[in-house]
Amino acid sequence: MERAEFEQAIDEILDSLPDWAVARIENLRVVVEEWPDDEQDPDGDGLLGLYEGISLPDRGLDYVDVMPDTIWIFRQPHLELGLEPEALREEVRRTVLHELAHYFGLDDDYLDEIGWG
């Protein structure tokens, strides 16, 4: 999957979010990178995505004038999964939703419980 198609898939995923989710999203950017850097993936585990920021439940009254939270989606680790195009799109969708769940305050343990880990 070429980069433009990968980015288009992410745009389509974000455009398909329900209204209640879109209404809650603020000060968030989604960035596509080819690979995570060593700080993002120190063990070299092939990280697919990463949320960096202050999740909604942790934002207080002092949450003003802060840099945007970031969802990083890493293209090459997705491609290295060797999936067919439709399965790859589904994995990208799963990654984007997983990282959005962190933005909304859900942790990995809970995401594992509901099958989004």
| Residue 25: φ, ψ to 5° | -85, 120
The pLDDT value recorded for residue 110 is 81
Chain Cα centroid distance, residue 49: 5
In this predicted structure, the answer to whether residue 117 has a pLDDT above a threshold of 70 is no
Helix (H) or strand (E) holding 107: none
In this predicted structure, the answer to whether residue 113 has a pLDDT above a threshold of 90 is no
Mean pLDDT over each residue of the chain, to the nearest integer: 94
Strands 28-33 and 49-52: unpaired
In this predicted structure, the answer to whether residue 116 has a pLDDT above a threshold of 70 is no
- In the chain, the domains with their CATH numbers are 3-113 (3.30.2010.20)
Radius of gyration of the chain (CA): 14
Q: How does pLDDT run across 2-36, given as a tens digit for each residue?
A: 999 999 999 999 999 999 999 999 999 999 999 99
pLDDT-based confidence at residue 112 (cuts at 50, 70, 90): confident
